[in-house]
Amino acid sequence: MLSEKYPEEIQNLLKKYPSDQKRAAVMALLYLAQRETGYLTKPLMQEVADIIDISITDVASIVGFYSLYHEKTGGKYRIQVCTDLPCALRGAEEFLEKLCENLGIRVGETTPDGLVTVERVMCLAGCDKAPLFQVQTKDSIEYHENQSVEKAMDLINKWRR
Mean pLDDT of 117-127: 94
pLDDT at 26 over 90: yes
Q: What is the pLDDT of residue 53?
A: 95
Q: So what's the architecture of 2-65 in CATH?
A: Orthogonal Bundle (1.10)
Query: Are 28 and 71 contacting, i.e. CB atoms less than 8 angstroms apart?
Result: no
pLDDT at 136: 93
At 35 the pLDDT is 87
Domain ranges in the chain are: 2-65, 77-160
Helix ranges (DSSP H) in 40-108: 42-52, 56-65, 85-89, 92-103
Higher per-residue pLDDT: 1 or 110: 110
Query: What superfamily would CATH give domain 77-160?
Result: Glutaredoxin (3.40.30.10)
This prediction has a pTM of 0.83
